[in-house]
Amino acid sequence: MKKLFFGVTFTLFSFCIYAQSESALIINSHVQKLENAKDYTIAVANLMPDSLYNYRPVPAEMSFGEQLIHITQNLYWLTSTYIAEVPNPYHPTKDELSKLDKDSIINLVKDAYDFAISSISKMEIKTLSKEFKFSGENLNKYQFLNLIEDHQTHHRAQIVVYLRLNGIKPPKYIGW
């Protein structure tokens, strides 16, 4: 009976360690992905001349600079609200946003990625399954990690096209 108890205890302990290491792998993978995304986004942002930060391929689309600001705002919002569970630290006015130049926008992008990376790095593994109401559904933190990646990738892909439409070759992709 003693062997059975220790066997079951060891198995449960091993499973818990395995589950924690798998969760840590998930968090660390998302951190690495965002670090690479930051580098790639900054490389893309640096290639577009300041004079073309207001470029938009059609009137209905955001400009190049607006796309970057949108990425910034979304990184702050999703990460603060659903990952770190703290108030969103970034609340610019429309007037403040309208005065931003290329260098200011790039600095905002860097800060937003740094905030997201830091917040995700500090995330407690046990909170991955915590759910929040979002667009009429319940999403857990793991789903928000994916949403954060998907959203910034979607908008960065648009600005890569903006580069090409202006005859600028995008940088080599920095991925996983």
Residue 131 has pLDDT above 60, yes or no: yes
Between CA 46 and CA 98 the distance in angstroms is 19
Running DSSP on this structure, what letter comes out for residue 140?
E
| pLDDT 10s digits, 132-167 | 999 999 999 999 999 999 999 999 999 999 999 999
Handedness of CA 136, 140, 146, 151 (dihedral sign): positive
* pLDDT (0 to 100) of residue 14: 46
**Per-residue burial over 154-175, b = 16 or more CB atoms within 10 Å of its CB, e = otherwise:** ebbebbbebbeeeeeebeeeee
Query: What number is the average pLDDT over the span 103-113?
Result: 98
Residue 19 has pLDDT above 50, yes or no: no
Query: What number is the average pLDDT over the span 59-78?
Result: 98
Query: What number is the average pLDDT over the span 12-32?
Result: 69
Residue 38 has pLDDT above 60, yes or no: yes
| pLDDT 10s digits, 75-98 | 999 999 999 999 999 999 999 999
* pLDDT (0 to 100) of residue 102: 98
* pLDDT (0 to 100) of residue 99: 93
Residues 82 and 134: beta-carbon distance below 8 Å: yes
The amino acid occupying position 100 is: L
- Residue 7 pLDDT class (50, 70, 90 cuts): low
pTM: 0.86
* pLDDT (0 to 100) of residue 63: 97
Beta strands 131-134 and 137-140, pairing class: antiparallel
Residue 13 has pLDDT above 80, yes or no: no
